[in-house]
Amino acid sequence: MKRHLGKKNFERFKVDFDFLFKIIRESKGELDLRLRDNYFNLYYKGNSLAKVRFKKEEYYEISIHKKFIGREDKEIFRDDDRFFRKGKPQRNYLFYAVTPQLLHPFFQTKYLRRISSNIKNVNYGEEIAFEQMIITDNMERDDWFIIDRQVTETSFQKRLDLLALKQIKENKYQFIVIEVKLGNNSDLEGKVFDQLTHYVEHINDNFDNWKQSYEKYYRQVKQTGIFNSPSFESVEIIKDVKGMVAVGGYSGIANEKIVSLKSRYPDIEVKQFGHRL
């Protein structure tokens, strides 16, 4: 488990992407940046808009799904000869080699808006939208902080939806694994319990590794100024890991599924969200 940048890459990151941090702050949560193992993902409403890898100091490798770039005859960068593809497409992703000097033009507002528009048109599902609302509606809080999303690891068959920090006391926080489900999702019939249990047990079994990784992650992202709250420059993550199911919408169907789920697994924590007027 590694969710932070090496020292050298972090120094590059702070300087070369300072303009992007401001754009993300001003988006009020629609744009989101998440650190990985010496690369990062830029998200738009829950979809990975771009994956940025640190290569030699001369350039960065940026990959974007071809559906988000647009058809070849309407490709976003088609008429901008500053940007060129690197190699052949792989698994539907296009790769660009971008120098530090051209990062701001590459991620300029005009291009970000066009890529975001394509994302909304081709890949904007209800469950991802719900996940995004949970993140944006819980920003600027000291008591809760969504520290990561769509977390993958070798031992996971699927992605962990959201990983949160819940404040226990001052700058001491506890991991909360959150599985996000719409009310009509068949996983609420019982599968979600197995998913949640697997994630919680895995993190508890490897707690020191996850703790160290995400404490460093927090410190690094805090230095970018992307978020104001929590207000602490660093946090201490303490045991034990807990789980929660966040259920949204379709309350008629969801109520039945939640009652059944809790009857089978009475200790499971479920938080239900609705749209009742």
Read off the pLDDT of residues 198-219 as tens digits, 9 standing for 90 and up: 999 999 999 999 999 999 999 9
Residues 109 and 150 in one domain: no
Based on the structure, what is the number of domains in the chain?
Answer: 2
Residues 16 and 68 in one domain: yes
Task: Specify the pLDDT at position 23.
Answer: 95
| Closest C-alpha to 103, from 31, 16, 34 | 16
Task: Specify the pLDDT at position 178.
Answer: 96
Q: 202 lies in a domain?
A: yes
Q: Which helix (H) or strand (E) holds 169?
A: strand 160-169
Last residue of a domain, one of 98, 124, 150: 124
Task: Specify the pLDDT at position 155.
Answer: 76
Return the half-sphere exposure (C-beta side, CA atoms, 13 A cut-off) of residue 94.
19
CA distance 187 to 59: 43
Residues 269 and 132 in one domain: yes
Residues 147 and 101 in one domain: no
Task: Specify the pLDDT at position 157.
Answer: 73
Residues 156 and 211 in one domain: yes
Residues 95 and 133 in one domain: no
Q: What are phi and psi for residue 180, nearest 5 degrees?
A: -100, 125
Cis link prior to 230 (omega < 30° from 0)?
A: yes
Q: 1 lies in a domain?
A: no
Return the half-sphere exposure (C-beta side, CA atoms, 13 A cut-off) of residue 196.
25
Task: Specify the pLDDT at position 61.
Answer: 95
Q: 29 lies in a domain?
A: yes
Q: 2 lies in a domain?
A: no
| Closest C-alpha to 84, from 100, 61, 101 | 61
Structure tokens at 255: 């109520």
Strand 31-35 with 39-44, pairing: antiparallel
pLDDT in tens, the chain (277 residues): 789 999 999 999 999 999 999 999 999 889 999 999 889 999 998 889 999 999 877 899 999 998 998 876 678 888 888 988 887 778 889 999 999 999 999 999 999 999 999 998 886 678 888 998 999 999 989 999 999 998 988 777 778 999 999 999 999 999 999 999 999 999 998 899 999 999 999 999 999 999 999 999 999 999 999 998 999 999 999 999 999 999 999 999 999 999 999 999 999 999 999 888 8
Q: Which helix (H) or strand (E) holds 117?
A: helix 109-122
Range of the domain at 98: 7-124
Task: Specify the pLDDT at position 104.
Answer: 97
Residues 87 and 101 in one domain: yes
